[in-house]
Amino acid sequence: FLLPYLEISVTGRDGKIPVKAITVAPKNHVDLARKGMLQYTQAMGYDVPVELSKLKLRY
């Protein structure tokens, strides 16, 4: 079947998505996840804070 959709541009004038901050979800090895996200955002040219979620990890 056919699914209609609209393409919406969310990039700014500089071609980047306007991101103010990133929050890493609760998970095992949250420090490793935060470090990886920091490296990724820096490699993509973003200078945004990467914060840890205040929620506890639950199973």
This prediction's pTM: 0.74
pLDDT of the residue at 59: 81
DSSP labels for 1-59? Answer: ------------TTSS-----EEEPS-TTHHHHHHHHHHHHHHTT----EEE-SSPP--
pLDDT in tens, 14-39: 888 999 999 999 999 999 999 999 99
